[in-house]
Amino acid sequence: MNSPAPESRLSVQGVTVRFGGLTALDDVSFEVAQGHVVGVIGPNGSGKTTLFNVICGFVRPTSGSLTWQGKTLRPRPDRLVRAGIARTLQSVGLFERLTALENVMVGAARARKAGFASALFALPRSDRDEQRLRDEALDWLRRLDVADAANRLPGTLPYPVQKRVSLARALISRPRLLLLDEPAGGLGAEDMTHLAGLIRGLPEAGEWPCSVLLVEHHMDLVMSVCDQVVVLDFGRLVASGTPDDVRSDPVVAAAYLGTDVPAEAELRATP
């Protein structure tokens, strides 16, 4: 390690997003330091999904900027994995007519070496590439304890298994930053514990420490896995700090914790 890789730090600087007259994000700034797990919480409609969409390039901010690994980030959804950022979708978003294994293989699309010509002529190079991807994808399914599901279609799998497959699809790209959109939605206690362990383990994963930005409604999970929590309310960042700081912050209690915790369905994309 003589030429250290740039530090994998994400800075969100003064990001504002307006949809017509509505301000979905209002001058939001925070950082995700390398190896940190940062939680984003806030009531329904407070701008969490919009924040993710800005980082992924689905939504252009009205003003403000992003910095990633020391450089300005102008995100485009299909260039994100190349930049070392992966995201899971709140709605799981598995390819429904691809097997679980194929789903995970698509996640490694960028790692493919064989090109169109090798595929067209079915050159051994293409076969080798496929075999390598298949092994790697199977390995990820195994790590997430769902290798049995490899040849099944997503629709035939229980929801928690689908969520793990989508995690495998994100992780196979070896991201340096993982954006998790409500990963615990619809999970039981046991799966939640597994997920918490997994998230906690990511920053320490020796070969490629991965930071995590987490939108989640399950407070237990947020409070147990996050190094830092930022709280959004009506698009404004109203508090940030360690889970303990945030928990005891009266502003937060007023904005969010004191009120009813929204049902998880509220965050889900409209069908």
Partner 1 sequence: MALLRSTLVRHLVLLALGALALVLLTGSLSTFHNYELAGLGAYVCTAAGLTVLTGLNGQISLGHAALMAIGGYTVALLQIRFSDRAITGLWVLPLSLLAGAAVTGVAAAVVGVAAARLRGPYLAGVTLALGVALPALTSRFTSVFKGDQGLSVPFDPPPASLGANFAVERWQAWISLGAALIVLFFLANLNRSAIGRHFRAVRDDEVAAQLSGLSVPRVQILAFTVSGVAAGLGGGVFAVSLQTASPGSFDLTLSLALLSAVVIGGLGSLAGAVWGSIIVVYLGIVLRGFVDDLGLSAASAQKLHDNLPNAAFGLLLVLVMLILPGGIQGLLRRLAGVAPVDRLRRGRPEPFAAAIAQHSSSPPPSGGQQ
Ligand X SMILES: Nc1ncnc2c1ncn2[C@@H]1O[C@H](COP(=O)(O)OP(=O)(O)O)[C@@H](O)[C@H]1O
Q: Which residues bind ligand X (CB under 6 A)?
A: 19, 22, 24, 42, 44-50, 267
Question: Among Mg ion, partner 1, ligand X, none, what binds residue 74 when CB lies within 5 to 8 Å by partner kind?
Answer: none
Is 126 an interacting residue with respect to Mg ion (CB under 5 A)? no
Print the binding letters for residues 175-214 with Mg ion: x by CB under 5 A, - otherwise.
Answer: ----------------------------------------
**Least distance from partner 1 to the Cβ atom of residue 117, Å:** 10
Identify residues 48-77 at the interface with Mg ion (CB under 5 A): 49
Give which of partner 1, ligand X, Mg ion, none residue 8 binds (C-beta under 5 to 8 Å, depending on kind): none
Alpha carbons within 13 A on the beta-carbon side of 245: 11
The Cα–Cα gap between 198 and 150 comes to 20
How far from chain centre, in Å, is Cα 84? Answer: 12
Min dist. Cβ of residue 125 to partner 1 (A): 10
Beta strand 177-181 with 10-19: parallel, antiparallel or unpaired? unpaired
Which of ligand X, partner 1, Mg ion, none interacts with 45 (beta carbon under 5 to 8 A by kind)? Answer: ligand X
Q: Are strands 228-233 and 63-68 parallel, antiparallel or unpaired?
A: unpaired
Give the binding-site size for Mg ion (rule: CB under 5 A): 2
Q: Which does 144 bind (CB under 5 to 8 A by kind): Mg ion, ligand X, partner 1, none?
A: none
Neighbour-count burial of 153, counting CB atoms closer than 10 A to its CB (0-12 exposed, 13-18 middle, 19+ buried): middle
The residue (of 21 and 206) whose beta carbon lies closer to ligand X is: 21
Residues in the chain: 271
Task: Say if CB 235 and CB 49 are below 8 A apart.
Answer: no
**Residue 91 or 248 having the CB closest to partner 1:** 91
Judged by the rule CB under 8 A, the positions of this chain that interact with partner 1 are: 49, 52-53, 56, 58-59, 77-82, 86-87, 89-90, 93-99, 102, 105-107, 109-110, 112, 114, 116, 118-124, 126-127, 129-130, 133, 151-153, 155-156, 169-170, 173, 181, 269-270
Cα–Cα distances (Å) from 155 to 97, 104, 170, 191, 215, in that order, read 8, 15, 19, 19, 25
Binding partner of residue 253 among Mg ion, ligand X, partner 1, none, CB under 5 to 8 Å per kind? none
Interface stretch with Mg ion, choices 43-51, 158-166, 232-240, 243-251 (CB under 5 A): 43-51
Strand intervals (E) in the chain: 10-19, 22-32, 37-41, 63-68, 71-72, 85-88, 177-181, 211-215, 228-233, 236-241
Sheet (strand 71-72) strand order: 22-32, 10-19, 63-68, 71-72
Among 54, 146, 252, 267, binds Mg ion (CB under 5 A): 267
Q: How far is the CB of 17 from ligand X (least distance, A)?
A: 8
Q: Which is nearer to ligand X, 46 or 228 (CB)?
A: 46
> At residue 82, what are phi and psi to the nearest 5 degrees?
-65, -35
Binding footprint of Mg ion on the chain (CB under 5 A): 49, 267
